[in-house]
Amino acid sequence: MKNAICLLMFLPAAAYPNPDYPTGNMSVAVFNFQSDKGANEKFGVADAGKSVASLLACDLSALEPIRVVDRGSIQQGEGSSKMSLGEPITPEGARQIGRALGATSLVSGQILASHAQVIIAAKVVSAETGAATGAMVKGDTSTPIADLISQLGAQVARIAMIQKGVEPTSWAPAAIVGTRERATSLGSNIPHDEVACVLAIDGRVIPDEVEKWSQTQTLLPGFHEIFVRYYDGTASAGHDFVFNAKPGASYEVYFEKGHLSLASLNTPAVPSVGPVLWIRDQRTREPVTAVTQVSFGPRQPGVPTDFEFRGLNDVSTGDNPDFSRSPSLRFK
Amino acid sequence: MNPRELDKYLREARVPERPDDYWSEFPSRVVGRARTERVAGIRPAPWRLGAAAALAAAFGLVLGFALWHRHAAPGDAYGSLRDGRVLRELQTRYPGRLQAIIQDGSGLHTQLSDSADVSASDPILLEIRDGKDRRVVVTFSGQLVRCGDRNVMVLSDLGGQVMLVGDGFFWSRQASSGLADVVHIRAERIPNELGRSKPSPPL
């Protein structure tokens, strides 16, 4: 017994768990980024800093073993927790905010947008030591904002792991493909293909998307806006979905044919019912987006030329975006 | 006196009366004196010796001055800032208080916090040229420095790249925004042998 007590006394202090910072728990608090008028206009939102911070928090939540502090408690200023990239923070100040939010790393940042480029810089402060490490991503006008934030998320996650003394890891991209089915129309024996495929990712159009329905498209882990197209050889329908792609996951665009009625076939005034579209996990077959009934359009669906990442608006309302929004996909 | 008169004068001259031992010692005295006068003949004149000494002293002074100033030259001061010698010395002197070391036209300055509350982050060396002004700043990731007419946050990333971020301002090797043409920046992370101080585990 005495020996056991002596052993306990001589155990290194690091061997005891720290109740404030449980071993292996990497919890990141993302504060609103600073943005100027140019950035708000560029992203088409009222507060680009808030939107980017919310998106970053969403992306981080997909990167195991990172956990993300609820953005609501941060925005409500719990524990007088205010932080900005432009203000130095003392180790004691970082500890206080970290304790108040239950965070091990504190993230703040700044967005600089001009007509030619977008720069997003982040400061990641250890809530244990106050040590600050930077991260940045840069893109031009053609770089999807979703990819920029995804890349920033991976950098921030690695820093958070290092600040906790954990070996940093890397996260594999996700993948998405389309689906095809052989079908015959009502009242006809001629078979035809029905295809649901990826039309565009974050505004980037995939040329000849129907022919390339089986071609795997990669997605960096995090939030993405996927434009999908359904085509049955004569009619087209489209929809855009916003969802959080998990690292290494495989997804597919899936569809079910709309239930046609004889009335719609015989009466031109009654529009034919379009397909039901959604994106699902290929392994579990569980939907990762809303299952949405869409209408056939008069022409081929296309991506708006003034595309604005819908995730910026969706995510800023909370950490669980509403997937059942009305479709914003336009028809050419 | 012409040569003929001289010849006549010498012929009329008489040998002085000397004791016998004088003449027996005479050759050795002549040889000894000749040797003495030969040595004296090749010695520099006293003024030459003085001039040489003065020259050597002046050279010594110039050399000393040059060496002294070589040690205090900006290049070498930059080197001692760059390799972290000055940083380590000042960190030891002001533990946890050193925010920045600044070398500018007026010399070397330190920027200290009132209390030991400066985070132990990566040390960084910045060289900021703003027109004719040149400042070398040693600071840490997460500290503010003056760059041009604004305060900017200094950060280093996981790869050791340095970035400066301010209101409408960004600079790194890869990209910059809002940077005036006259401002040129160089930055690098300093090897810090003191290392990051890890937090004390709870007892």
Q: Is the pLDDT of residue A19 over 90?
A: no
The answer to whether the CB of A195 falls within 8 A of the CB of A212 is no
Q: Does residue A142 share a domain with residue A37? A: yes
DSSP state, A215? S
Helix (H, G, I), strand (E, B) or coil at A88: coil
**Looking at the structure, do residues A28 and A155 belong to the same domain, yes or no?**
yes
Domain presence at residue A254: yes
A125 and A206: one domain? no
Structure tokens that stand for B62 in this block: 């110039």
Q: Answer yes or no: are the C-beta atoms of B115 and B182 closer than 8 Å.
A: no
- Average pLDDT of the residues in B175-181: 81
| pLDDT bracket for residue B177 (50, 70, 90) | confident
Domain boundary among A163, A189, A216: A163
Q: Residues A66-89: pLDDT tens digits? A: 999 988 878 776 545 678 888 889
**Judgement on whether residues A17 and A37 belong to the same structural domain of the protein:** yes
Give CA–CA dist A130/A69, Å, rounded: 18
pLDDT(A152) > 90: yes
Angle at A109 between CA A104 and CA A111, to 5 degrees: 160
* One domain, residues A149 and A206: no
Return the pLDDT at A221: 95
- According to the model, what pLDDT value does residue A81 have? 61
pLDDT confidence bin for B59, thresholds 50/70/90: low
How does residue A150 score in pLDDT terms, banded at 50, 70 and 90?
A: very high
Q: How far is B105 from chain A (nearest CA, A)?
A: 27
Asked, for residue A300, whether it belongs to a domain, the answer is no
* B169, β-bridge pairs: B166
Residues 6+ apart with CB under 8 A from B71: none
**Same domain, yes or no: A21 and A138:** yes
Please state, in angstroms and rounded to a whole number, the distance separating the CA atoms of residues B198 and A126: 11
Question: Where is the domain boundary, A163, A195, A221?
Answer: A163
Q: Is residue A236 part of a domain?
A: yes
Residues B88-117: what's their mean pLDDT? 88
Does one domain contain both A201 and A279? yes
**Same domain for A255 and A115:** no
Report the C-alpha gap between A200 and A210 in whole angstroms. 11
* pLDDT at residue A43, as a whole number: 81
* Residue B153 in this model has a pLDDT that exceeds 90: yes
Residues A128 and A250 both lie in one domain: no
Asked whether the beta carbons of residue A112 and residue B155 sit closer than 8 angstroms, the reply is: no
| A224 and A85 housed in the same domain | no
For the residues of chain B, what is the DSSP string, one character each? Answer: --HHHHHHHHHH--PPP--HHHHHHHHHHHHHHHHHHHHHHHSPPHHHHHHHHHHHHHHHHHHHHHHHHHHTSHHHHHHHHHTTHHHHHHHHHSTTTEEEEEEETTEEEEEE-SSS------EEEEEEEETTEEEEEEEETT-EEEETTEEEEEEE-TTS-EEEEETTEEE-SS-EES--TTEEEEEEEPP-TT-PPPPPPP-
A164-223 per-position pLDDT tens digit: 999 998 999 999 999 998 877 666 677 788 999 999 998 888 888 888 899 999 999 999
Q: Who contacts A195 (Cβ-Cβ below 8 Å, separation ≥6)?
A: A178, A179, A180, A210, A213, A229, A230, A231, A232
CA proximity to A69, closest of A34, A27, A109: A27
- Give A117's contacts in chain B (Cβ within 8 Å): 175, 177
To the question of pTM greater than 0.95 for the whole model, the response is no
- Residue A256: other Cβ atoms inside 10 A: 14
**Please, is B88 exposed, middle or buried when counting C-beta atoms within 10 Å of its C-beta (0-12, 13-18, 19+)?**
middle
Handedness of CA A41, A46, A48, A54 (dihedral sign): negative
Percent helix, strand and coil across chain B, each to the nearest 5: 40, 30, 35
Distance CA B24, CA B127 (A): 89
Nearest to A33 by CA among A144, A153, A142: A153
Contacts of A36 in chain B (CB under 8 A): 168
How many domains would you assign to chain A? 2
What is the amino acid identity at position B124? I
Contact A133 B203 (CB under 8 A): no
Q: Contact A112/B202, CB-based, under 8 Å?
A: no
Is residue A307 situated within a structural domain?
no
For residues A123 and A65, membership in a common domain is answered with yes
Domain membership of residue A332 (yes or no) is no
Q: Tokens 């600071």 appear where?
A: B139
Query: Could you tell me if residue A327 is inside a domain?
Result: no
Instruction: Determine, for residues B168 and A36 on separate chains, whether the beta-carbon distance falls below 8 Å.
Output: yes
Q: Are residues A51 and A183 in the same domain?
A: no
CB contact (8 A) between residue B199 and residue A128: yes
Burial profile A7-35: b = 16 or more Cβ within 10 angstroms, e = fewer: eeeeeeeeeeeeeebeeeebbbbbbbbbb
The residue whose two tokens read 């996650």 is A157
Q: Is the peptide bond before A65 cis (omega within 30 degrees of 0)?
A: yes
* A16 CA: distance to closest CA in chain B (Å): 8
The reply to whether A318 falls in a domain is: no
Contact between A131 and B168 using a beta-carbon 8 Å cutoff? no
Structural domain span for residue A105:
10-163
Total residue length of chain A: 332
At CB < 8 Å, which residues of chain B contact A? 117-122, 141-144, 151, 153, 155-158, 163, 165-170, 172, 174-175, 177-178, 196-203
End-of-domain residue from the set A163, A198, A214: A163
pLDDT digits 0-9 by tens, B64-77: 545 444 444 455 67
Within a domain: residue A244?
yes
Asked whether the beta carbons of B31 and B37 are under 8 A apart, the reply is no
